[in-house]
Amino acid sequence: MHPIKSASISDLITKQITGELSAQEIADFFIAEVEAQDKHIQAFSWFSTENVRYQAKLLDEQRLNGEPIGPLHGIPVGLKDIINTASIPTENGSHIDAGRVPTDDAEVVRKLRTAGAIIFGKTRTTPFAFLTPCETRNPNNLKRTPGGSSSGSAAAVAAGMLPLALGTQTGGSIIRPASFCGVHAIKPSFDLIPREGVLLQSWTLDTIGIFARSTNDLSWCLSAISNTKVEQQASIRQLRLGVIEPPHYDRASRTMKIAMKQLATELGDQAIRLDLPELFQSAPRAREIINFAEMAICYERYIAKHESELPIEVRSAIAQGEKLKALEYLMALSHRDLLNSALSPLFEQVDALLMPAAIGEAPGLDTTGDAIFNGIWTLCGTPVINLPMFQGDSGLPMGLQIICPRGEDAKLLQVARQIEQWIKTPPTA
């Protein structure tokens, strides 16, 4: 394997500091990967080799001039095509916004630039970050979906065309694609990463997250772009893990259920079986009510001018949102608060909860897959990680979803590290 492809983000930074690598060499490696693969995968909606090389050249000049190096210096990052980028198209995955070029960067893009990252390209999203599939293919099997709506970000990292990419999640748009494509991903605590300058679908749910090649790379990037610094946490002694079966667990594939049972066995005394309180059964509907109601307001301008051009899935969601009563919306918000209160006793018993990241392997290209196992945690605002731990009957990846209390993102990352290490080298008695 090429040393750049296998290197961690921290290794790539160190090698630039020592002069072993330049930002231009890193950029050229990933440019070659895009040129070789993206005609098949179609992960990028916008990509310019000239733009990437220009950024890399400037970063090398800054380093050689003795200027301070940021935590993401020379690291290529892909951005979901709903995240505004100054002078670069941001088209929200739709012909309706074709040619739209923002005048300002989103706040998270400003943070990336300050950290020294290379804005490598815009990754494909489903239209308006909703359910209609886009052109992107799953790198593991081109006849399968990469998931959505952060389709291109997940696929690009999985294919090795990027070391890092940003996506967003309103239902399951980070964790599900990560599971289908077999990459690490984090949906952080709600509002940990600034959302200004990102297409707004739901002010209560929208969350920016990260796709990467490892847990350590997720941690490194999150620390660089979050509103609150996420410090690395020390190893947790006597780690306690709760294995749960979420609402609608009957939808999980046989292989996924077997994988979860085997994982619980491998974890031994560290894992206990926990049951979610009954009120979690109505969490998917509460999330849907909030999503549709707020979507009807956020996308009002598209309904006013382009209703007939919108995908049927978007029109249907907006129509349902317009029919909702204020009381239904307020009750859904209240239900979210009840869910978070009900989680507290569970997290007094364990450090983290474990469950499938998706119901199984990636399905075909006519869907982005089922997000039923993800929306609960988007609603609660809790941080969640996908670890690519399992394999399905077709040999495609399936993910483990790890959940920690809201605000405990550093703990979540440490739990993920320890689980990965435990599975690789379980301690002897």
Residues in contact with 404: Cβ distance below 8 Å, sequence separation at least 6, in sequence order:
347, 351, 352, 353, 382, 383, 411, 412, 415
Q: Which is the catalytic residue, given 15, 22, 45, 80?
A: 80
Task: In whole angstroms, give the CA distance from residue 381 to residue 352.
Answer: 15
Chain Cα centroid distance, residue 43? 15
Phi, psi of 187 (to 5 degrees): -100, 105
- Kindly provide the b/e burial profile for residues 165-183, where b requires at least 16 CB atoms within 10 angstroms of the residue's own CB: bbbbbbbbbbbbbbbbbbb
Residues in contact with 298: Cβ distance below 8 Å, sequence separation at least 6, in sequence order:
200, 201, 202, 203
| Residue 250 to residues 245, 279, 335, 391, Cα–Cα distance (Å) | 9, 18, 23, 19
Active site residue 80: yes
Helices (H), 268-391: 283-298, 300-306, 312-323, 326-349, 375-380
Active site residue 48: no
CB contact at 8 A, 297 and 265: no
Interstrand relation of 241-244 and 271-274 (parallel, antiparallel or unpaired) = parallel
Task: In whole angstroms, give the CA distance from residue 250 to residue 301.
Answer: 39
E-state strands within 3-125 = 44-46, 76-80, 118-123
Cβ burial, residue 214 (10 Å; 0-12/13-18/19+): middle
Q: Which is the catalytic residue, given 22, 45, 94, 149?
A: 149
Q: Which is the catalytic residue, given 22, 153, 173, 202?
A: 173
Interstrand relation of 397-403 and 207-212 (parallel, antiparallel or unpaired) = unpaired
Task: In whole angstroms, give the CA distance from residue 418 to residue 420.
Answer: 5
To the nearest 10 degrees (0 to 180), the angle between helices 254-267 and 409-424 is: 90
Catalytic sites, residue numbers: 80, 149, 173
